[in-house]
């Protein structure tokens, strides 16, 4: 079967939600629908899905952002491929499409964050040419 990458669409919400749970972020499907609707309207966000035989088997969310200290860049905010479809090049195709989107936006740097426990993902990113540049801790406060 052939894998293809296309822009995410509203009707992909249930599949995106199922895969987000595999990534460790389970939440009600309605939240995914609402978030997707908001993000799909924003030009600075790139939402892609990988499909095989018409079924969504992975997704990627990237966004263009700017930080005062580092300037403009694209960040891959989320990437997941269904656990039963890993190793079939879907992740590579999603990242390649995000890199192309970044080039079209004239961004010269793409970054991402990955949980320290996701060692398989770290090897994947390194194989694609990403370099680990630092370790950090993430802090959060619920309001």
What is the C-alpha to C-alpha distance for residues 99 and 62, in angstroms, rounded to an integer?
9
pLDDT at 67: 94
Q: What is the CATH number of domain 3-114?
A: 3.40.630.30
pLDDT band at 28 (very low <50, low <70, confident <90, very high): very high
Q: Are strands 71-81 and 55-67 parallel, antiparallel or unpaired?
A: antiparallel
Q: What percent of the chain has pLDDT over 70?
A: 99
For 135, the token pair is 């370790």
pLDDT at 34: 97
pLDDT band at 7 (very low <50, low <70, confident <90, very high): very high
For 19, the token pair is 């895969």
pLDDT at 64: 98
pTM above 0.85, yes or no: yes
| Nearest C-alpha neighbor of 58 from the set 19, 32, 11 | 19
């Amino acid at each position: 079967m052939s894998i293809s990458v296309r822009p995410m669409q509203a009707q992909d919400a249930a599949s995106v939600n199922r895969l987000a749970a595999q990534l460790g972020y389970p939440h009600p499907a309605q939240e995914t629908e609402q978030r997707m609707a908001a993000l799909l309207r924003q030009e600075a966000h790139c939402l892609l899905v990988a499909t095989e035989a018409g079924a969504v088997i992975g997704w990627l969310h990237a966004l263009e952002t700017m930080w005062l200290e580092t300037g403009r860049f694209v960040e891959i905010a989320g990437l997941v491929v269904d656990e039963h479809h890993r190793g079939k090049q879907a992740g590579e195709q999603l990242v390649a499409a995000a890199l192309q989107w970044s080039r079209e936006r004239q961004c010269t740097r793409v970054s991402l964050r990955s949980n320290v426990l996701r060692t398989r993902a770290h090897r994947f990113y390194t194989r694609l040419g990403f370099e680990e540049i630092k370790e950090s801790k993430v802090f959060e406060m619920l309001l």
